[in-house]
Chain A
């Protein structure tokens, strides 16, 4: 079962990267807050931690920043909530940028001129658009902090 779902043809049929004639998502195109500014975006990318059971030797590297034993998983999805890419199996202690670098070397291919939205843990490069680091970021949380 697992082999069937995670290997071609089923996997490649359902989880695939966008190609050159994939249109811009209507969620971006029809929203005036996004459209002219994010016009070359193809999706968003982030890493997540998933719990796992590992052997005693591997346990130290699998411990993440919260102290739990996890595997790290890099995923890219489009704005219609469909996965475009998934890259799993890294140790929990790995950073997002390391995973992204390895994914680029393996099989992640971003079209020229296009980019993914990623958070501040990712490297600055042509295929990723990351937020500014200096300014306030999660404004809602800053607002709550000042109210306290």
Chain B
């Protein structure tokens, strides 16, 4: 039995869990719905940063060269990313 008298197996039941998440995650007004859609459309840029950093490890472990060259690195790698 859980603290509030509900059995734990009831809380962990997949259907109940799914229902709970659906209720909690769904937007309740127009502004929240807009923000949800906005975030859904915007996740592409977060993904592309992930790809760039996974693909070119030089962005994670930077070279010890002058900052002028390091600043040009992302631009060059973005061009290579688009080329590939």
Contacts and interface: CB of A to CB of B under 8 A. Distances in A.
Interface of A: 2-3, 5-6, 10-11, 13-15, 27-28, 33-34, 37-38, 41, 44-46, 48, 50-55, 58, 71, 73, 75-77, 79, 81-83, 86, 88-89, 117-119, 129, 131-132, 134-140, 142-143, 146-147
Contacts of B25: 139-140, 142-143
Contacts, number: 149
Contacts of B73: 2, 6, 50, 88
Given A6-B73, A46-B49, 5 more contacts: A2-B69, A27-B44, A48-B49, A75-B48, A77-B45
A11 B72 CA distance: 11
A131 B74 contact: no
A41 B38 CA distance: 11
Given A46-B49, A52-B67, A134-B31, A143 B81 contact: no
Contacts of A75: 45, 48-49, 74, 78
B46 to A, nearest CB: 7
Contacts of A137: 35, 39
Q: Top 9 nearest A-B pairs by Cβ distance?
A: A89-B71, A5-B76, A143-B24, A6-B76, A88-B74, A14-B82, A83-B78, A44-B45, A14-B79
Most A CB contacts (10 A, CB to CB) among B36, B46, B47, B60 go to: B36
A37 B30 CA distance: 13
11 contacts: A2-B73, A15-B78, A33-B40, A44-B41, A48-B49, A55-B67, A77-B45, A77-B48, A81-B51, A86-B74, A132-B34
Interface in B53-74: 53, 59-65, 67, 69-74
A117 B34 CA distance: 12
Interface range on chain B (Cβ under 8 Å from partner): 35 or more
Contacts of B70: 52-53, 71, 89
